[in-house]
Amino acid sequence: MLTAEKERGNWGSKIGFIVAAAGSAIGLGNIWRFPYVAGENGGAAFVFIYIIFVILIGLPVMISELSIGRHTQKNPVGAFGKIAPKSFWKIVGGLGVLTGIGILSFYGVIAGFTVGYFIKILLGDLSHITTGDQANEVFNQFTANPYLSIGLLFIFLFFTSAIVMGGVSAGIERWSKILMPVLFVLLIVLAVRSVTLNGAMKGLEFYLKPDLSKISIPMLARALGQALFSLSLGMGTIITYGSYLSRRENLVTSAGAVVFFDTLIAILAGLVMFPALFAMGMDPAGGAGLVFVVLPSIFAKMPGGMFFGAGIFLLLSVAALTSTISLLEVPVAYFVDERKWDRKKATLLMGISAFILGIPSAISLGAVKSFSVLPFLDFGFLDFMNALFGNYSLTIGSFLIAVFAGYKWGIKNVLNEIEQDGVTFLYKNIWSFLIRYICPVAIVLILGYIIITRNYF
Ligand code: PFF
């Protein structure tokens, strides 16, 4: 056991693991995706449901993924194969590998945009903005250039691949530990500015005062998808990261810490976005461009705004990078461990695949007007990939992981993995109930309804 740990390498410390897993979880999902999805789905009611799903479904699934990863010390495919040899469960891991590339392809596009905005601020391209309309205009022009979007996607995936090639641990850990707290502080500064703008109250109300009549099943599906996406669950990322976690650490408190910080950052991002958005009379359901329009409008209203602007887009790029690293690590770990590929070759091939798959997403937000997947589907390719991989694939993956932990591998084995070296899991009965009943049943009901009503997007 110890030799296996030594050979594979481990996180430097418990804090190292939490920082790295939080680095995977905290990213564009919190700051780009959470606010715009909340805005499209009724604001506070969505936030309320989101938090419930994080606690009742996200946390139990995270504990399961960590246990599977640490027990098997393997990538998702190898992990399922080890616990349940010669069974179809390996497919769950395979789905994760595929989903990693799928998410990386469109995530890289938005991450590229954040780099682009950082550069634009340095060049002074945003300094003339004083109104929301102007910010909108700048974003539309920015996305209208296909070479720029594709080039930025390339740059981002290049950096991601370069880091993943070097192997997990040291680099990721060191970077995240310093930069995530800085991101947190910057968000607080922006939130204070946003909340004190004239007319901010309406935004706070929209964001924090739930109107429960806005709850609908499609909204539940989106809140669940968002919770899983934000926590990096359902595709084996946390299995892979858990495989580098030492047996001496307490899985449950580690999972709790990651979930807490991830949710805190998402809520804080909403606190930056909604007051400002309402203060400037913008539409909360503005879609995927929201963060790129609202943030520059806030910078315009603060002394030294461009300084904060450069800081936030730079840190957003770094937060995205610690997430794209984890997305790429899943397929790479699979090809290295299971197919005995060289790490360099695996990273290169997976990076190139994500790049090629990302090109239609890169041009779908403006360069090619309403570039749709199928002629009768009236929305863009990035939105399609986002829903397919970022919501459904993770939801189905989480369902299968819950069933695997709760029934196939079984509660007893999971608890044995958790309760080693004197660790006691205080809430094991609650966890068992959630993973066996609440997680699978809630997901089946929600997905069942979505399929029956064909309300996919
Ligand atoms: N959790 C990341 C975010 O919120 O930005 C995105 C992500 C990373 C999703 C890794 C899934 C994953 F496996």
CATH of the domain at 280: 1.20.1740
Residue 377's pLDDT is 56
Per-residue DSSP letters for 276-291? HHHHTT--TT--TTHH
With a cut of 80, say whether residue 136 has pLDDT above it: yes
Could you give the CA distance from residue 173 to residue 166 in angstroms, rounded to a whole number? 13
- Alpha helices (runs of H) in 196-289, residue ranges in sequence order: 200-208, 217-230, 237-242, 251-279
Q: Is 326 in the pocket of ligand 1 (CB under 6 A)?
A: yes
Confidence of residue 368 (pLDDT cuts 50, 70, 90): low
The domain containing residue 80 runs over which residues?
4-453
With a cut of 60, say whether residue 370 has pLDDT above it: no
Residue 197's pLDDT is 96
Could you give the CA distance from residue 360 to residue 46 in angstroms, rounded to a whole number? 30
Q: Is 240 in the pocket of ligand 1 (CB under 6 A)?
A: no
Residue of 338, 409, 407 whose CA lies nearest to 83: 409
Name the token pair of 15: 């804090």
How many structural domains are present in the chain? Answer: 1
pLDDT in tens, 256-311: 999 999 999 999 999 999 999 999 999 999 889 999 999 999 999 999 999 999 99
pLDDT in tens, 409-425: 999 999 999 998 889 99
With a cut of 80, say whether residue 170 has pLDDT above it: no
Name the token pair of 201: 């109250």
Q: Please compute, for residue 119, the number of CA atoms within 13 A of its CA located in the half-sphere on the CB side.
A: 10
Q: Give 331: exposed, middle or buried? Use CB within 10 Å, 0-12, 13-18, 19+.
A: buried
With a cut of 60, say whether residue 160 has pLDDT above it: yes
Q: Give 449: exposed, middle or buried? Use CB within 10 Å, 0-12, 13-18, 19+.
A: middle
pLDDT in tens, 12-59: 667 777 888 899 999 999 999 999 999 999 999 999 999 999 999 999
Residue of 65, 149, 62 whose CA lies nearest to 112: 149
Question: In ligand 1, which atom is closest to the CA atom of 34?
Answer: 4
Q: Please compute, for residue 253, the number of CA atoms within 13 A of its CA located in the half-sphere on the CB side.
A: 10
Q: pLDDT over 90 for what percent of the chain?
A: 81
pLDDT in tens, 187-201: 999 999 999 999 999
Q: Is 323 in the pocket of ligand 1 (CB under 6 A)?
A: yes
Instruction: Select the more confidently predicted residue: 149 or 455.
Output: 149
Residue 47's pLDDT is 98
Q: Is 327 in the pocket of ligand 1 (CB under 6 A)?
A: yes
Q: Tell me the residue type at 323.
A: S
Contact residues for 132 (Cβ-Cβ < 8 A; gap 6+): 280, 281, 282, 293, 294, 297
Q: Is 432 in the pocket of ligand 1 (CB under 6 A)?
A: no
Residue 316's pLDDT is 95
Greatest mean pLDDT among 32-36, 162-166, 450-454: 32-36
Q: Tell me the residue type at 135.
A: A
Q: Is 386 in the pocket of ligand 1 (CB under 6 A)?
A: no
Picking from 20-29, 371-380, 384-393, which range would have the lowest pLDDT averaged per residue?
371-380
Q: Tell me the residue type at 1.
A: M
Determine which residue's CA is closest to atom 10 belonging to ligand 1: 232
Ligand 1 mean position, distance from CA 286 (Å): 22
Q: Is 28 in the pocket of ligand 1 (CB under 6 A)?
A: yes
Residue of 334, 324, 194, 214 whose CA lies nearest to 270: 194
Confidence of residue 135 (pLDDT cuts 50, 70, 90): very high
Ligand 1 mean position, distance from CA 10 (Å): 21
- Per-chain mean pLDDT for the chain: 92
Residue of 56, 59, 54, 67 whose CA lies nearest to 411: 67
Residue 168's pLDDT is 57
Rounded to 5 degrees, what are φ and ψ at 202?
-60, -40
With a cut of 70, say whether residue 374 has pLDDT above it: no
Could you give the CA distance from residue 331 to residue 32 in angstroms, rounded to a whole number? 24
Within 10 A of 414 (CB to CB), how many other CB atoms are there? 25
Ligand 1 mean position, distance from CA 235 (Å): 10
Q: Is 115 in the pocket of ligand 1 (CB under 6 A)?
A: no
Across 314-324, average pLDDT: 94
Question: In ligand 1, which atom is closest to the CA atom of 29?
Answer: 4
pTM (predicted TM-score)? 0.95
Residue 18's pLDDT is 84
- Cα dihedral sign for 187, 189, 192, 193? negative
Across 141-164, average pLDDT: 95
